[in-house]
Amino acid sequence: MMQRWRHYLLGAALAVLGLTTGCSILPKSEPQTRFNLPAAALDTHVPQQKGVLFVAVPQGNRLISSNYVLIQPEHTEIQVYKGTLWADTVPSLLRERLITAFSEAQLFDAISGDAALRSDLTLETYVQRFQVQFENDQPIVHVQADAKLVDSNTASIVRSQRFYVTQPAQSKDVVHLVAAFGQATDQLSLELIQWLSR
């Protein structure tokens, strides 16, 4: 009886030891590299508009609203760049970039990202594309957004326009892809500034 009890204790001790040494049947999570959206100073010379502009968080489908780096190698297939994530969701990164660009350009008397504050105009955007597509094996970043300028007091659309920017990447390396995303977003910011300043 004593011998059987010793075997039981030994088995229990070995089981605990196995758990504490990191043995696990669960799959190991892949290491993720997170990237911020690069931004360059924009050379803008536009007249300052009166009032306060509120920049709403851009909308998009579920994939675009995530923090995945999206790749489209074929016509309709969407893939996720393995082991790589944006530092925040795409809409959040994009709004941060737009607010910074608009503020640096002194586009309005004030730029707001807080919906609780009073504003004269609201910029709403719906992002249709924010991905890398391949053309003849060349990676090209595609950014497409539908923008609406809305009168905050009457909730009426002042004007709307679609913006579509493409930017070739130097290679398929993730660092070059991220750099191309930054350049495409800079161009989108510049075109929005020119559109809003009309």
CA max distance for the chain? 93
Residue 165 has pLDDT above 50, yes or no: yes
Tens-place pLDDT, residues 101-136: 999 999 999 999 999 999 999 999 999 999 999 988
Q: 90, 64 in Cβ contact below 8 A? A: yes
pLDDT at 30: 65
Residue 18 is predicted with a pLDDT of 44
- Mean of the pLDDT values across residues 182-186? 98
Q: What is the pLDDT of residue 77?
A: 85
Q: What is the DSSP letter of 31?
A: P
What pLDDT was estimated at residue 41?
A: 87
Confidence of residue 5 (pLDDT cuts 50, 70, 90): very low
Mean pLDDT of the chain: 87
pLDDT in tens, 46-85: 888 899 999 999 999 999 999 999 999 877 789 999 899 9
pLDDT at 22: 44
* Helices 174-196 + 90-104 axis angle, to 10: 50
How many Å apart are CA 36 and CA 178, to the nearest integer? 8
- Residue 71's nearest CA partner among 177, 175, 184, 182 is 177
The residue to which tokens 């959040």 are assigned: 92
Rounded mean pLDDT, 79-99: 95
- Per-residue confidence (pLDDT) for residue 8, from 0 to 100: 46
| 15 has pLDDT over 80 | no
Residue 110, beta-bridge partner list: 52
Taking the C-alpha atoms of residue 183 and residue 166, their distance in angstroms, rounded to an integer, is: 9
Residue 20 has pLDDT above 50, yes or no: no
User: What is the average pLDDT across 94-103?
Assistant: 97
Please state, in angstroms and rounded to a whole number, the distance separating the CA atoms of residues 191 and 198: 11
